[in-house]
Amino acid sequence: MLGLLPALDGLLHASAQFDQAASRIARAPVAPADSVDLSAAAVALLQSRNNFEANSKVMQVADEMEKTLINSIG
């Protein structure tokens, strides 16, 4: 259970980052001068997706470890 709490916090943080980056992209005006801001927002979007996936895998591994421990105890 202890391994799940930091991963859950990470999922929530990644989700909030994803929403913020997606919002910045949606509000970006279509102009060549803003391409740097748009690319930075796209990178943030990809980073938040990767963070979400990583934290999700941490939760899966922690769950598997907990099940293995419970099965070995009896």
Does residue 74 lie within any of the structural domains?
no
Does residue 65 lie within any of the structural domains?
yes
Count of residues making up the chain: 74
Contacts of 33 (CB under 8 A, 6+ apart): none
For the record, the structure tokens of 53 come out as 């996936």
Q: What is the pTM of this model?
A: 0.74
Does residue 12 lie within any of the structural domains?
yes
Does residue 24 lie within any of the structural domains?
yes
In the chain, the number of structural domains is 1
Per-residue pLDDT of the chain (74 residues; tens, 9 = 90+): 566 788 889 999 999 999 998 888 887 776 555 566 788 888 999 999 999 999 999 989 988 998 999 999 97
Give the range of the structural domain holding residue 51, as residue numbers without chain letter.
4-69
Does residue 61 lie within any of the structural domains?
yes
Please tell me the predicted confidence (pLDDT) of residue 34. 58
